[in-house]
């Protein structure tokens, strides 16, 4: 018998922040691997890519549309976030198609890390404070995000 996992009472912003922290930690671990740690680098890069694909998908399917409805003047911020997601997805596809020993593998992962770092800062410092002021039920939204992520994983 399986038990149903839940978001643990976390609201949507806490859930997204947790994802951000986890991927930041994974990028740091990647940086610590040696130049010739090809197997470890490829495994970790694949994990990072999978986590980012799930994260961007739940944001695009659930979180951003909810924010767009709740904050009528947030369109420019949300549009920029979607463009950033597009750039990240392009880098993710490149990484997934590369061998870890490829000349530009480490550089491509580094650029993805920098894109994500920039994106996270904008979300957490600009978007999340605005969302917190809305009447969105962030607990319910957190449960929706968690459930969708579980289904996709």
Does the residue 4 lie in any domain?
no
User: What pTM was computed for the model?
Assistant: 0.92
Question: Does the pLDDT at position 6 exceed 70?
Answer: no
Does the residue 133 lie in any domain?
yes
Does the residue 23 lie in any domain?
yes
Does the residue 2 lie in any domain?
no
**Six-digit token string for 26:** 């994974």
Does the residue 118 lie in any domain?
yes
Q: Report the pLDDT value the prediction gives residue 132, as an integer from 0 to 100.
A: 96
Q: Report the pLDDT value the prediction gives residue 1, as an integer from 0 to 100.
A: 30
For residue 106, the domain's CATH number is 1.20.120.520
Span 47-76, average pLDDT: 96
Q: Report the pLDDT value the prediction gives residue 9, as an integer from 0 to 100.
A: 74
CA dihedral 8, 14, 19, 21 (to 10 degrees): -120
Q: Report the pLDDT value the prediction gives residue 7, as an integer from 0 to 100.
A: 57
pLDDT tens, position by position, 84-121 = 999 999 999 999 999 999 999 999 999 999 999 999 99
- Phi, psi dihedral angles at 8 (to 5 degrees): 70, 30
Domain count, the chain: 1
Q: Report the pLDDT value the prediction gives residue 72, as an integer from 0 to 100.
A: 87
Nearest C-alpha neighbor of 105 from the set 92, 118, 117: 92
Provide the domain limits for residue 113: 12-152
Question: Does the pLDDT at position 4 exceed 60?
Answer: no
Does the residue 135 lie in any domain?
yes
Buried b (16+ CB within 10 A) or exposed e, 61-79: ebbbebbeeebeebeebbe
Span 69-93, average pLDDT: 96
CB 103 within 8 A of CB 89: no
CB 86 within 8 A of CB 39: no
């Amino acid at each position: 018998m399986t038990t149903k996992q839940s978001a643990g009472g976390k609201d949507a912003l806490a859930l997204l922040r947790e994802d951000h922290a986890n991927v930041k930690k994974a990028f740091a671990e990647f940086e610590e691997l040696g130049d010739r740690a090809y197997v470890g680098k490829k495994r970790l890069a694949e994990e990072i890519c999978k986590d980012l694909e799930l994260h961007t998908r739940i944001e695009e399917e659930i979180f951003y549309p909810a924010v767009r409805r709740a904050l009528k003047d947030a369109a420019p911020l949300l549009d920029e976030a979607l463009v950033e997601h597009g750039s990240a997805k392009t880098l993710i596809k490149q990484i997934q198609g590369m061998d870890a020993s490829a000349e530009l593998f480490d550089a491509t992962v580094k650029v993805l890390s920098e894109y994500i770092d920039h994106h996270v800062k904008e979300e957490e410092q600009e978007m999340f404070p605005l969302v917190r002021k809305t009447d969105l039920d962030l607990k319910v939204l957190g449960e929706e995000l968690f459930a969708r992520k579980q289904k996709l994983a």
